[in-house]
Structure 1
Amino acid sequence: MENKRNNIAQPHDHLLKELLSNPKRSGILLRERLPAPVARFLSAKPPRLRDVSFVDAEEGWRPYLLDFRFLVLDLGVIPDRELSGDRRLRARLLAMKYATRKTEQLAIRERLIEVLKDAPEDLLPIIHYLISAYVYDEKTLRGIIREVKPEEEEKMMSQFAQDIRRKALHEGMQQGRREGLLEGEARGEAKGEAKLLLRILPRRFGPLSHEITDRIHGADPNTIESWADRVLDAKSLDDVFSG
């Protein structure tokens, strides 16, 4: 049961928990953000992690109740360069600040690279977070890695390839469904998903034959979805359309 509680799927919560699970970084954040009259009473030593809860309930119920043990901090009102004086905190907080500001994410790419160059040891978890929370495509993510740790570019891209493709496919399918709904339920959905598949397949396997194109246009939504699911692991077009 405890493992289930610690398995945080939400990328924002996961990154925040990872950040605050480090006593040194937690101490810095507390001293920077608490009011000065309060912060001056803090010990110079990093805070100790405690396995306690503020929820007053019988032990068996605790895993199912909300338990807010994270700092409440409005990153949106803090200027980027004042997020933290600590280089590693600054990189993580900047990434989190723009996670919900989709229209501004491309504009802060260079700023992210700048702070990550100061904290290259955190590139791996932050790239993982960007894949989940940002609109960055494979080319943009590769460019960030190349600027910060060029020697790790191929290794990281290989490591994250499946996640990137899965995200692109998921977003594309969602877009296809939205387009489909606008054009009319089942028929429109099939058209939208066919359009997506026709865009993804050439990027992975090269130009498509007229036979393949006609086959996709004539397929029903369930068949197209089945083909799309195979794109992630397929090594050839035959793997996509077999079965």
Structure 2
Amino acid sequence: MESTGKTPALKVSEIFLSLQGESSRVGLPTVFVRLTGCPLRCVWCDTAYAFAGGQTMSLPAILAEVTVAARDVGRVCVTGGEPLAQAACLPLLSALCDAGHSVSLETSGALDIGQVDARVARVVDIKAPGSGESDRNRWQNLALLTANDELKFVLKDRSDYEWARRLIEERQLAALCPLLFSPVDDDLPAATLADWLVADRLPVRFQLQLHKILWGKLRGR
């Protein structure tokens, strides 16, 4: 965590208004606060530009920019990178909630989510083997999940799918919170994953990244 004087500060990659592209909130206008930095290096990562760079901003400065961007919207998603890699992410989340926003957090699942403000909806990844980072999954997080949270699997191939299917059954994940399955762009055809889900009747929500369908890989959308 950096600080500006005595005020906590964060390294911010970008702040922008768009449509939520994933999760149960898909399609809703949302302000995104993308924080810089991530300790993971998933082979299919689509936000590698957030690994470094950005600008240092104080909490009041972030809140002020979000207030303007979120006018008549009221929804904020803190994402990355891995936002929890910055200690000041925790007070940022609480401050956004205090300001009256409906707040969600997108996190890799590799770091402890236990200190996240209870008002925040946590969208937690479970990294499949095809990501190259499955050994970083923090399984202790599963015991902290509530019905307000979501677990997200990004799947590269049939092997990833079978791994996730077994995990859901063995750990009874559907009883914890909603589950999301997404295909990796250019590796797993969306229709193929959809066919597998239908055939196996899995208790998951199939999702595509709406923002990429609309705008491709354009930043800030």
Identify the TM-score tier after normalising by the shorter chain: 0.3 to 0.5
Normalising by structure 2, we get a TM-score of 0.35
- Higher helix fraction (1 or 2): 1
Structure with more contact order per residue of length (Cα contacts < 8 Å, sep ≥ 6): 2
Task: Name the structure with the higher strand share.
Answer: 2
TM-score normalised over the length of structure 1 = 0.32
